[in-house]
Amino acid sequence: MALGLPSVLPGSQPSIGDLIRKTGPTFSFEFFPPKTADGERLLWQAIRELEPLRPSFVSITYGAGGSTRDTTVAVTERIATETTLLPMAHLTAVNHSVAELRNVIGRLAAAGVRNVLAVRGDPPGNPMGEWVRHPEGVLYAEDLVRLVKQAGDFSIGVAAFPYKHPRSPDVASDTGYFVRKCRAGADFAITQMFFDADDYLRLRDRVAAAGCDTPIVAGVMPVTRMATIERSEQLSGAPFPAALAARFERVADDPEAVRRLGIEQCSEMCRRLIDEGVPGIHFITLNRSTATREVWQNLDVGARV
């Protein structure tokens, strides 16, 4: 075993990369680590409400600058040991030395967690600020992928950007960076959230044209309030589609109508993605279950899995 880390036993948990390639489309949920006792209650309420839907897997994000490292690992461990769900832990390079990253990887391995989403991460305090490498850390996501790959039998996911990463100079460069992450050892990718199916399909075509066949799961989140639109560029790195924004503006004074439109639009987009052969849909839940369950029901996922 490289790096002296605990071995991840083959078969201890299914490989998400294998699930996506062999069983698709997969359906999965994303949660974030709570910062308060009330937040923890909401998280576990959402997990228990979504668990009966039998998603393919769930993921737990990592706070900006690694601020929730221990909570992320603890939640992932608890999901692995106390629920029927298959967890994937996010791992970011921000503010972490290689030694710290190896420690986190080792904790996950010890809990039997073999699925990791390796992302470079945003600078703390300002997602659009200058990215500064830890003096004893790694510089790029592809370096983090290699570090996890060396550590044992992990299935590794990476991020994909339907529009392009905010720091990429252009779409062609962004595609090249993505392909390098895949060739470093990533088994699959999950996109940042997007609100137009064509953005996903263009990304898939670009990656295929570059000779890369890594499956790309679509990350989606229904708009349930106008504030989501206002924050969408920060959340996704892409401007909110103008035509769709106009539809929401027409009902902006009616919060319930905004929510209905958001559920409808997300359901329509997911149906089209499924028809276009998407290998998976990853729902960003914001630790709440209701909107996700409504889209899930609209897609009649139970009949598909």
Task: Read off the pLDDT of residues 278-292 as tens digits, 9 standing for 90 and up.
Answer: 999 999 998 888 999
Q: Among residues 14, 7, 42, 26, which one has the least CA distance to residue 289?
A: 42
Task: Read off the pLDDT of residues 188-225 as tens digits, 9 standing for 90 and up.
Answer: 999 999 999 999 999 999 999 999 999 999 999 999 99
Quick count: other Cβ atoms within 10 Å of Cβ 238? 20
Contacts for 2 with CB less than 8 Å, ≥ 6 apart: 150, 151, 152
Q: From the candidates 30, 77, 142, 294, which is the catalytic residue?
A: 30
According to the model, what pLDDT value does residue 138 have? 63
Quick count: other Cβ atoms within 10 Å of Cβ 305? 12
Dist. CA 263–CA 114, nearest whole Å: 33
**Catalytic: 230?**
no
Task: Read off the pLDDT of residues 52-78 as tens digits, 9 standing for 90 and up.
Answer: 999 999 998 876 554 566 788 888 889
- Domains in the chain (CATH in brackets) are 2-303 (3.20.20.220)
* pLDDT, mean of each 10-residue run, the chain (305 residues): 36 84 89 88 93 94 63 87 92 80 87 88 55 57 89 92 78 90 95 94 96 96 91 78 95 96 97 97 92 91 58
SS3 16: helix
According to the model, what pLDDT value does residue 12 have? 64
According to the model, what pLDDT value does residue 1 have? 31
CB distance 58 to 87 below 8 Å = yes
Dist. CA 141–CA 157, nearest whole Å: 11
Give yes or no for a cis peptide into 25 (omega within 30° of 0). yes
Apex CA 117: angle with CA 219 and CA 240, to 5°? Answer: 30
According to the model, what pLDDT value does residue 210 have? 96
